[in-house]
Amino acid sequence: MKAFLRFSNGEPNLSASEKKIVQKLSEAATIISTLYLVQRDPRYPGANFYPHDATREEIERASKQNPSILSPYTFVERDKAGKLVAVPYSKRFKKELVQIAKLLREAASLSKDKEFRAYLVTRAQDLLRDKFDKSNILWLNTEQSKIGFVIGPFDRYIDKLFFRKRAYMAWIGILDPLQTDELSRFKDTILLSERNYLPGAKRAKIAKVKIRVEDTLVFSGLIADFLFVGNNIPSSADLYLIKKYGTLFTLFNQPTDWRFSNWLFPIFQRIFSRKIKGKFTEEELKHAFLQTNVLHEACHTLMRYEDAQARLRELTPYFDELFTDLLGVKGCGTLILKNALTERELEAILIMTICHSLYFYTSIPVRPHLNPYALGGALIIDFLVKGKALRKQVDGFSLDSYRAFMALNQLTSIVEYYVALGNHQEAEEFLKKFSLRKIFSPFDPYLKGIPKETLPSLTRAKNNVR
């Protein structure tokens, strides 16, 4: 179980006081990993958030009498009489959270960054009361802070029963100003395009989207388990908040480099024909992967519908992640018209989209929780193959970029219906039409042995589970 990862970045350019701040935050992040491990249990769709013998129907009935049963920040347990009750995170983990809050306040006292200091103090308070709006709003003001730090329960991916409960995580990073400036300009160009929403859909308009790129020092909890290359805070679960205040998404340099070098580029070298392999350099493809990450995170804010989660429930992540990938590709057409992207760059982005789809499928044995991403990738591959955009040749697969763009535009329209208007039953029936094994089987011979390494080159902290 890898719930704490310390990245080997050498000595970052930090002052003595900044190093002390990072040390305090690292101690807090180490504690948070133990809380995540209490929450996580891949054997059950509800992880450890609900009693393993409780049915979905029983939990739903109990929540009608006690809404805190389905609060994002409670464990559901049985009392002595067998009745379902809700136990707040702040009560279950009081000892650890008090310790974390103390470390955050000590780190704040060492900081000369006014915005970062205010955020740390408020986040310490919020951790003890299971309410994060105040500190999330203050987090948005740390866009240019040298040290980046997020800690708390945010993403819902391990609650596959209701997609409600939020898992603990933390990260620490150092701002990369040059990359931030470059990719921020790219992000702004993406967001200039006004999208047409389906008639009758409940559109959610996001106030503002900020970006920062970081050299990663520490991943803890869910983010260490999933090894994200980017993350939005406030998250999509806080739609009411990001509609008013916006969101800040962070891209992580080291996890991005690792995923590209150890998975995506080897996949590219194995599956594509000699003609395509000779056309693009490794550096071009790496830059295209960075662009796909910005497209993905930016498009999270372009596709929000007010009632999507209420309709799709636990299927939300299957459609949410796929739709943002598809919107990113679709938006490239507009970027080309604005001379913000070349056709060659679009082809490289399409190649990285294919390799990323194969990455999620190939990595399932070591990260089974990536199944929603893998199924989304299966739909992308299926439409490309059926649209004759991706064809098997003697020496690998060829790609027709024009056909690929058209095929993925078609898939975008289909998926948007479910995100904007579809109900749970029809969304479930749609997903059942696609088989990972069947769709990816033509690629299996090319993917054997990728990768040998299943974790980045970093040190791991030992975790003590309560």
Whether the pLDDT of residue 463 is over 50: the answer is no
The answer on pLDDT for 466 being more than 50 is no
For the ranges 14-28, 38-52, 74-88, 359-373, which has the lowest average pLDDT? 359-373
Would 328 be classed as within a structural domain? yes
Q: Which residues contact 456 (CB under 8 A, 6 or more apart)?
A: 5, 7, 227, 254, 255, 258, 262
User: How many Å apart are CA 41 and CA 167, to the nearest integer?
Assistant: 12
Contact 229, 292 (CB under 8 A): no
**Could you give the CA distance from residue 350 to residue 254 in angstroms, rounded to a whole number?**
23
Question: What does DSSP assign to residue 152?
Answer: E
What number of residues does the chain have?
466
Q: Name the percent of the chain lying above pLDDT 70.
A: 94
The answer as to whether 76 is a domain residue is no
Q: Check: CB of residue 196 under 8 Å from CB of residue 251.
A: no
Neighbours of 32 (CB within 10 A): 27
Q: Which of 57-66, 169-178, 191-200 has the lowest mean pLDDT?
A: 191-200
* Residue 465 confidence (pLDDT): 36
Q: Is pLDDT of 329 > 60?
A: yes
Q: Give the predicted TM-score (pTM) of the model.
A: 0.93
Residue 456 has pLDDT above 80, yes or no: no
CA angle 383, 387, 393 (to 5 degrees): 105
The span from the CA of 411 to the CA of 366, in Å, is 28
397-434 pLDDT, tens digit each: 999 999 999 999 999 999 999 999 999 999 999 999 99
Question: Is 245 part of any domain?
Answer: yes
Residue pair 389/400 in contact (Cβ under 8 Å)? The answer is: yes
The tokens 């959270």 sit on which residue?
97
Q: How many domains does the chain have?
A: 1
The stretch 380-401 carries a mean pLDDT of 97
Residue 70: inside a domain: no
Domain that holds residue 180: 4-40+93-464
Average pLDDT, the chain: 92
| Residue tagged 């180490």 (tokens) | 30
Residue range 4-32: mean pLDDT, rounded: 91
Strand pairing of 247-252 and 209-221?
Answer: parallel
In a domain, 69, yes or no: no
Q: CA 49, 50, 56 angle in degrees (round to 5)?
A: 130
CATH number at residue 435: 3.30.540.30
- Domain assignment present for residue 122? The answer is yes
In a domain, 79, yes or no: no
Q: What is the pLDDT of residue 349?
A: 97
Q: Is 425 helix (H, G, I), strand (E, B) or coil?
A: helix
Q: Rounded distance, CA 90 to CA 72, Å?
A: 12
Report pLDDT for 206. 78
Q: Does the residue 409 lie in any domain?
A: yes
Portion of the chain with pLDDT greater than 90, in percent:
80
- 182-to-179, 186, 213, 302, 404 alpha-carbon distances in Å: 5, 7, 10, 21, 27
Range with the poorest average pLDDT among 102-111, 299-308, 437-446: 299-308
Q: Give 280-318 pLDDT, tens digit per residue.
A: 999 999 999 999 999 988 887 766 788 999 999 999 999
77 three-state secondary structure: strand
Q: How confident is the model over 115-144, as pLDDT tens digits?
A: 999 999 999 999 999 999 999 999 999 999
Whole-number pLDDT of residue 194: 60
Q: Which residues have C-beta within 8 Å of that of residue 60, sequence separation ≥ 6?
A: none
Count CB atoms within 10 A of the CB of residue 441: 10
Concatenated DSSP letters of 206-261: -S-EEEEEEEEEEEEEHHHHHT-SEEEES-GGGHHHHHHH-EEEEEEHHHHHHHII
Contact 73, 126 (CB under 8 A): no
Choose among 202, 214, 293, 186: nearest CA to 243.
202
Give pLDDT, residue 460.
Answer: 38
